Structure 1
Amino acid sequence: MNRPEPAVSPPDAARTAPNAPAMSDAQYHALVDAIEDCAIFMLDLNGRITSWNKGARRIKGYEAHEIIGQHLSRFYTAESVARGWPEYELKQAYATGRFEDEGWRVRKDGTLFWANVVITAARNRKGEIIGYAKYTRDLTAKRAEEEKLRLSEERFRLLVESVSDYAIFMLDPGGHIASWNTGAMRIKGYQPSEILGKHFSTFYCPEDLAANIPEIELQTAIRAGRVENEGWRVRKDGSLFWANVVITAVYDEHRVLRGFAKVTRDMSERKRLEQLEVSSRRISEFLATLAHELRNPLAPVRNAIGVMQMETDMPPHVAACRDIIDRQTSHLGRLVDDLLDMGRITTGKIDLRMARVDVSDIVARSIELVHPFIDERAQRVVTKLPNEPVHVTGDSTRLVQIVQNLLNNASKFSPRASTIRVEVECEASALLLKVIDTGRGISQKGLTSIFDLFVQEDHYLNPGEAGLGIGLTLCRSIVEMHGGSVSAASGGPNQGSTFTVRLPYASDTDAPRPHRVLAQSAAQAADAGLRIVVIDDNRDSADSLAMLLQMKGHDVRIAYHGKEGLDVIRHFPPELILLDLALPDIDGYAVLRTLRSQRLIGRAMVVAMTGFGQESDKERSAQAGFDAHLVKPVDFEALDRLLERVTGA
C-alpha cells in the first residue's frame, strides 16, 4: 500500500555528506524503513502516527495499515495513559526539542516490553515544529539481565547482613569501615552509626598498634590477595576476645584496588577449649609434680612437731619450730587452694560474684595479704593510683587473688630489700594494673609460655622456690573470665619483670549479677550443628541458602535434582530436608513419596520450599506429609524458628 510521506525531509547532513553524492528523499526513507532493531516512525503535532518502519512492525507487532493514523498512546499502559504521560512527553519534546524516557510499553498482542524512547521535534526549513520523530528500542532482555544482577546482589547483601556469627564488613582502600553487618554489631558491640567511617585499627590492642599490625595486614592482603591470622581484638566496651580474621583485597575489572573485605569470627570459646585440651595432656606431669610438692612442706612440719614433742617447756628453739609449722602450713594451704581453683576452672565450674569494685580497694587488700611474705624479705611495696576512684565490674575476691599472686611472684623472684611497684593507669577503653619488680627477669623464650599450666621459668635453676606452676595460669584464666587479659614483659635475665592486667571499665548501669562459666567439650562443640540437605534446581538459591546455613554452623549438602537428592540422602542421613517442589526431573511430592517408600527419612523433618504461598498451597503440602512450608524467598526469621524447632526435636 502507499505509505504517507513523513512530515519532514531528512536532515541536510544526511543528504549532503562531504565528498558523497546527495541522498535523495526516497533513499533516505528506504534506509530508515529497512532498520529492524529500532522502531522509527513519525507523529503529527497531535501525536498521531504518520509513518512506520520494519523495526516498528517487529517490535510493536502492528502492520502499517493497522497503526498509521492512530494516537501514540496506543503503546502505553493504562496507568500511563490515565496520568497523561503520552501528552506530557509530546509537550516536553515541543518545549525543549527532545525528550527521552524508559518504561513499559504495550505490543499489539498485549504483552509488555521495556523500552527506551526518544522523541525529537521535527522542523521544516523555516524552523517551525511540524511533528515529531519517535525512536524506540526494546531493552527488555537488557533490563532482565540488570534486574537479575540486582536481585543477586540484593540477595547476597541480605545474606551478609543477616549473618550473626561472623562480623563481615568492607573497608575502603585506606582501611576505613564502609559497611557493617549484624554479626559485626553482635561481636564488636558498635552500631553502624558509631563505627562507619572509622579506621579498622580501632579493634586492635595497643601493643598491636605499636607494632603497626593493621597496616601490615592490609599490605599483605594487597601483595598476596588475602591474609588470615588470629589474635586478641577489642570490643566497644573494652573487653577482649580471641578472633580469627581474614582480610581479602577487592579489585575492580581494571585491577584497581577498591578496598578490602574483612571477616572476623569470635573464637574465644575455641581457644579456651584448646587450652583445656593442652592442660589435660599435662595431667600426668602434674600428678608427679603434685606428689613431690605436697611432700616438701610436710617434711619440716613433721620435724617441728618432733622437736616440740621432745620439749616440755617452750624454749626459743621450740618457738622457732612453731613458726616453721605456721609458715609451711600456710604454704601448703596456698598450693592446695590454687590446685582446687585450677581444677574448677578446667572443669568449667567456677562461680564469679560480679559487682562494681573500686580498683584502689583491690590493690590495698592484696598488699595487706602479702605483707607477711614481703616483710620476711625486707621488701616494700609502693603504689601509684589515680586521684579519682576507678571502677571495674568483677568478683572482688578473685581480683584480689590475681594481684596477690602477682605480688607473691614479684617478691619471690626479687632480691631482699628491693622495691615492688603497683601502678594503675587509665586508657581510653580499659584499665591497666601493673606489678613491676627489679628481680630475676624472664627470658624471651619464657615470655611465650610463662602463663601455660605447670610451666615455670626457673624450675630447674631454683627448685627450692618452685611451686606447682599454677599461679600465673590461674591469674590468666580469672582475668579472661572478667573480659580482660594479662601479659608479661621483661628486658631479659636480671632485668626485672612487669606483669600487666588489662580490665574493661564498669559502666554506669552495671549492677551485681551472677556469672557462671560452663565448659563445653570439643565433641559438644563439633556436634552443635544440624545435618541438612537442600534440594533445589535453582543453583543460586540452593548455594546461597547452603552458605547461610553453613555460616550458622550446620553441615549442609546440596542437590539440584530430585533423584540426585535421593542419592545424597542415602549417603548423608539428615536431620532436616529443605525440598523445592518444582524440580526438573521429579517434583518435590514424588521425592517425598520415594523417601517414605524407601524408608530414607528416618527422623528427619521434611520442609516444602516453594514460590507458591497461598493457603491452598500450604494445605496441599501439609496433606502430602510435609512438616512445614517455607515460601521463597525464605524469610530468615522463619528459617531460624525452623532450625530451633529441629534442634529442639
Structure 2
Amino acid sequence: MPEPLRQQIDALAGRGTELFRQLVESVRDYGIFALTPEGTIATWNSGAERIKGYTADEAIGRHFSMFYPAGAVARGWPAEELRRATLDGRFEDEGFRVRKDGSTFWANVVISPILDDHGELIGFSKVTRDLTERRESERLLEESERNQRLLVESVRDHAMFLLDAGGLVRTWNAGCDRVFELSANDVVGKHVGNLYTDSDVARGVPRNELASAAAARVHHADGQRRKGASGAFPAEVTTASLTNREGALTGFVLVVRDLTHHDRVVSLEAESKRVHEFIAMLSHELRNPLAPIRNAVTLLQRVSSEPTLKRSTDIIDRQLTNLTRIVDDLLDVSRITGGSIHIARQQVNIVEVVNASISSTRQLAQSRHHRVSASFTDEPLIVLGDGARLTQVFVSLLTNASKYTLDGGEVVVSARDGDGLATVKVTDNGIGMGDELLRRAFDPLVQGERALARTDGGLGIGLTLVKSIVELHGGTVAAASAGTGHGTTVTVTLPIVQSNGENVSTTGAPGSASVRVLVVDDNVDAAQVVANILELDGHEVSIAHDGPAALEKVRGGFPDLVILDIGLPMMTGHDVARQMRQMPGGADVRIVALSGYGQESDLQQSATAGIDNHFVKPVDAEVLSLYVASIAHQRNAGQT
C-alpha cells in the first residue's frame, strides 16, 4: 500500500468516532438514533428529524414509545420489540408510526442491541425508514391486480385464461366455464392442446399458434375448439405472448369468443337478404300479369251491361283486388323488415282520408251486410303526412273490422280533435280479441281466428303495417277489446298541424282534354289494354314493345306522355328515359314508369333516370285515367 494512502487511513481511524457521528448525522433518508436499555432516546440524526418531525432537543430524553399508535403502546409493543431484539440480536418490523403533527406513516424499523466489550447491554440502535409511498404503490398495485382479476372473472361472453411458457393452463375464468363447458379442474395444469379438436392436435395447430404468438407478440386465429366432453364450436382466438423485463417469454394470455351465435346471425342475415330479393322479384312477376287482367276487367265493365257478364266481372274484380293486396303485403313485409318504408310529408285532412277509406271498403262491408256509420268533427283535422300511406292505414283497419265481424254486424268510425291530436277510432262488434292476441296484435304474421272461411286472403301483417306507418307519422296506435266475442276498437292518434291555407287534399276535375300517349311495354296484352282504356278516354295512343322501337317513334315527334315499363328487352326503361331526355324536345315530355318493381330503391332509380312518376303494377284504371286527364288539362291550360 502506498505510504500516502496509509497515512490517510490512519488519520481517519484516529478520528473514527467523530467521523462515524458525522456520517450518521448526514443521512436523511433514514431515521437513525440510539436508545438506552430502557428505551429512552439518546441520539437523533437529521433523517429522524425529517421523518418524524421532532428536533433533537424535542426527542432526546423521551421514551421512543411516543412514535407508536396508542393501541400499540397499550398492548406493550415497544417494550416487546426491545425484548425480541435483545434475545435474537436483531428485530425488524413494519407498521404505522406517529409523527409530531399526529399524522401516521408506514415504517420499516430495525432495532439492534449495543453491547460493551464484556457483552453487556448498554443500549439499542434503531433505524427507521418511511415506506408510505412504497406501501401506497403496493396497495394500488394489489388493488389493480384484484380489480383486473375480478374483471376477468366477471366476463362471461369471452373465455380469458393464462398459459405458462410451456403452454400449460394456469388460470380459468367464469367465461371459460361457459364457452368451453369445462371446469377449472378439467383444464388447469394441463396443456392447452386439450382445448383443440383431435384433428388440429394431429396437425400441430396448438404448437404452431403458440410459436406464432411468441414470434409476433399477438396471433389471431379462427377455428374449432373443444366444447364439453366431445363437442366443438367455432371460435375466434387471440393469443398474446407475455415477457419479463429482459424479454424472456413467461407465458401467454388467450381470449376466446364463441362464434356460434355470430355465424348464425350472419347466416340469417344472408337468408333474409335472399328472401327480400325473392319477394321483390316475386312481386314484380306477379304484378306483370295482374296489370293486363285488371285493365281488361275495367274494359269489360265499361262496355258490357249484360247481367251475367257484369256479375262475373264484378267477382273477378273483387278477387283481383284481394290478390293485388296480397302482392302488396308481400312487398311491405320486405319493406318493414328492411326498415325502408318512407313517407312523403304534406298537409292532409285526416277526415277526408278516413272518408276515402270508407268508400274504398264499402263493397266489402256491403257483401257482409255490415252497417258502417261515421262520426266526424266539423273542422278539418290537418296532419303532416303521406295521404296514400295514411289511406293504407285506415283501409287496413276497416278491412280487418269487416273480416272479423259476422254478417249483419256493425262498424263505427269516429274522428275527433283532442289536445292537439287527431284521434280516429274504428270499432266493430265482431269476434274480439283475447289478452294474448291483444299483446301480439301488432307483431308480424299474427292473425286471429276468422269468423268466416278464409276467403279474403291476407298475410297477417295488416296491423304491423298500420303500426309502422302511424309511428313514422309521429303517432300511436292501440287495440282494445273486452274479450272474445265482444268486438274490438283500434285507436289511431296523429299530431295535428296548422293549415297553411292551401287546399291540401282536393283533386280538381281534369276536364275532357286529350293528349298524345306512347305506351312502352314488352307485355303485348298489358300494353294493348292500357292503350284501349286511354283511347276510350279520348286520348291518341301508340304502342312500342321495346326500347329501340320507342326511341324510333319519338324521333318523329314527341308525344305529350310516355308510359314506360322498366323491365324491357335489349335496354331497360331507365336507359330509354335517359336517351329520351337527351333528344331534342325530350326535356318537356312527361315520362311515367309503370312497372312491377315497386321498392323504394326502384322509385329512386326511376327519379335518377329522369322519370317524373313511378306507378306500380297493377295500377287502378281509374287512377291512371285521372292522372292522364290531369296532364291533358295542364297541357291545354299551358301550365307545363
* TM-score calculated relative to the size of structure 2: 0.41
* Greater Rg by CA: 2
TM-score normalised over the length of structure 1: 0.40
